[in-house]
Amino acid sequence: MNRVLCGERFVTAVIAEIREDRTVALLNYGHPSPPMIHSDGTARFLAPKTRAMPLGLGMRGAQSPETLSTAFHPGDLLLLDTDGVSEARGGRGEFHPPGSRLRLLNADSPELALDALHSDIVAYVGGPLGDGAAMLLLHYRA
């Protein structure tokens, strides 16, 4: 990591596995919890009981992240993003409110949902994002 991160000594990450039993398993290394929007419109952030340190900060023998498993059914959405999205800040330095992400996401069109979310973040920040921003919206289609 030292050769690649140009001065940074750690990186946050969420590793997601979509399993054959219709669950999603997440390992969270210090990254903000990803939101899941269920087909009935309810939403929640998939937060582990305890968080692991970001990659690169853990000491030898540091605790591994707890695996968080949850059902993933047809119609459900799962948003995965980079820190350019989760750490986007407005003019006063406040983070973009994560709850606003949920109102913009819908199962009718994942593409339009991502466009709406990106536009909302750019408007909040007041211009182009200063950090790389990537989003992946997983939609479980029947």
The CA-atom distances, in angstroms, between 47 and each of 68, 72, 88 are 8, 15, 20
Residue in the structure block whose two tokens are 């920040």: 125
Rounded to whole angstroms, how far apart are CA atoms 51 and 32?
10
Record the pTM: 0.84
**In terms of Cα–Cα distance, which of 142, 80, 137 is closest to 110?**
137
The CA-atom distances, in angstroms, between 113 and each of 8, 107, 116, 121 are 32, 8, 5, 12
pLDDT of res. 42: 87
pLDDT along the chain (142 residues), means of 10: 56 91 93 90 88 71 82 93 86 85 76 89 86 87 82
pLDDT of res. 84: 84
